[in-house]
Chain A
Amino acid sequence: MAEARHSAGMKRYVVVWIGLILIVAIEVLLTYQHLPAGRLLAFLLVLAFIAAALGVMYFMHLRYERASLFWSLIPYLIFALFMMDHVWPDAFRLMHQRLPAP
């Protein structure tokens, strides 16, 4: 009985694992489509965040914990990452400031 429950529980994680492997395969295929760098980066980031969400919610069991744990941790991390975005205007300034090669 316990073994049957165990294997049934593992099936769900195998499905998530297959999904993660497929996401990695899609990322590699997209890379060789020779998309513009900005568009490729956007696709790769979206896929990476989907994969990370699957991993956090299922492999790390956050889906099965109390909602208070999710709301105490994840918004803080998103806020911290969002606040790091202030560097981009300076990066683009430096890119456009470069003098053309002689």
Chain B
Amino acid sequence: MTIRTWIPLSAALSITSALVLSAAGPKFYRDDPIWNDPETQNASSVQPVKLSEQYDFVENTFLKAGDRTDRRAMNVNSVDEVPDSSWFENRIGREPWDAARVVRGPDRGTGPAEGPWTVTGAKSEGITPGFTIRDSRGDIYFIKFDPPSNPEMASGAEVISTKLFHTFGYLVPENYIATLRRDAVVIAPGTTVDDEDSKPRPMDGDDLDDLLEKAARRDDGTFRVIASKAIPGKPVGHFRYYGTRPDDPNDIYPHEHRRELRGMVVFAAWLNHDDSRSINSHDTLQQENGRAIVRHYLLDFGSTLGSGSTKAQTTRAGNEFIWEARPTFVTMLTLGFYVRPWVKVKYPDIPAVGRIESTYFRPEIWKPEYPNPAFANARPEDYFWAARILSRVPDDAVKGAVGAAKFSDPRATDYLTKILLERKTKVLKSWLNATNPVVGLQLNASGTLSFDNAAEDAAVAADAERYTLSWSRFDNATGAHTPVGSEQSVTTKTAQMPRELLSDSGEFVAVTIRAFHADQPAWQHPLTAYFRRSDGWKLIGLERNP
């Protein structure tokens, strides 16, 4: 082949390569940023999947499940936010919510109707006994109890955490505190209970009494219970914190790379939700616009805050995985004279609260029961995203949520409110400062850029000493940046776009911002914002730690 042969062939390959690159897509599409994840496929072929609780523990503890590649969350939109989807709905993250709205939570009613409750199913085994009832309206609820050692604890934790997780944007069931009267409960004909050999047999009043024996009983003989309204749709199992469902066409982002699951560690740490694992999730097939879609719920918040569901939370909760080699061997070899520091933490004796505190709590080292691949993959921008949502939860809303637990001991309400607010401050301090906290970028038609600092706004950091800004033209087709002007340094949260960019005809501009504060080294992480010219400038892209 001669050189003359090579020239046109090379040209052809070059052009083709360029086309291939451009076919990979521009950086920004005309509909960016999207706020609704287009889950348009019909998922009617999804089949129920069972989860082995033991396997989940083994896999996540010893087999390092999921993809641990250090990469950005895959389901964020172009401005680094999470679009609404079957997993998450933007709530307080996008608009202010007052305390009343937080306290209302997911509730659409007032709980089980007055009148007889008809038991239609029971769970006599396991650590959290309960049963399913149909109320006089025909609504189905799952009934759970408080342990006799800690009246009001598990039900209180369930209600508080349900309301707060709903506020953050997660899908949760309607959970109500209700009163069960033994004489108002009847057993539906044909209801069965599993015997000691897990074989169903007809349920009778003795079985009901046996269940109630394990529950905290009030002085008047009634029981305070959690009534969890049945989630609509066909249950199809649990979701895992890694991988995708192979039978769900809409499930394309590996769960360990979903922002709302990575960022959930922030909320879990705040609320001590150490039971944040697959077994406490619920996938349900629901009909929407004539097609089926799988929605992903978080369930069972009975082991949050100071509650361990059937007893006060263990001191290990949040501090160490069930299995960790190093502290285990150190404890073995030192004949137990090495005492894990969290063992020594003191808790007040308030049965309705259990065990939760804010002094020893360090959000950045908080841990669930065993490793969670999504939590493990969380990057600073994931933490920041969640912390930002948390920062928007007003203090009086926290107080309102705790009040919704209806603790009869005022010490419980006061203590839990205080602890949650103190933990909230710690969480925000850790994770709003974990990366560049610049938010709220706006570029007006005259080229003035303004922005906010989320850490400063949340009062978890002093004002930045200065910000630096580097402007560039941005070629959306090739992804190329062409620097314009020299780096700017400002001490206020406004800056002026270089004159040549303003007079330019280019469609896109980009600006990379760093913040500087002697105490906050992570603020120097670069943040690049992209604006599109359209009747002024519109923010269409944002990358924290690009």
> Is B a genuine binding partner of A?
no
